[in-house]
Amino acid sequence: MMKKLALAAALIGSLSIGPVFAGTMSEGEVTKIDPRRNRVTVKHGPLENLEMPAMTMVFEVADPAMMDRLSVGRSISFTADRVKGKLTITEVE
């Protein structure tokens, strides 16, 4: 019985269960930076994971250290999601 439980635990532990919809990278251009409020304005293409069309909008930035890599006019690949009800950039390349 113990061998069966150990085998079952090993099999369950080996399963990779990821998010149903992984964050999708989107393309955009930084048009404004507000470091005091930890916000950035981005003119972007469609945000598929948020079902939003292309537009220009303000995002929170999840990690303030990301702000150091941003500059007005820079093209970026980024992932945005809703974090605590706010549209937030969670990853930027």
pLDDT by 10-residue block (mean), the chain, 93 residues: 47 41 82 97 96 97 95 97 96 95
Q: Read off the amino acid at residue 21.
A: F
**The pLDDT value given to residue 17:** 37
**The pLDDT value given to residue 19:** 42
Residue whose entry in the numeric block shows the structure tokens 């220009």: 56
Q: What does the longest C-alpha to C-alpha distance in the chain come to?
A: 64
**The pLDDT value given to residue 49:** 92
**The pLDDT value given to residue 7:** 43
Record the pTM: 0.74
Domains and CATH numbers, the chain: 23-92 (2.40.50.320)
**The pLDDT value given to residue 52:** 96
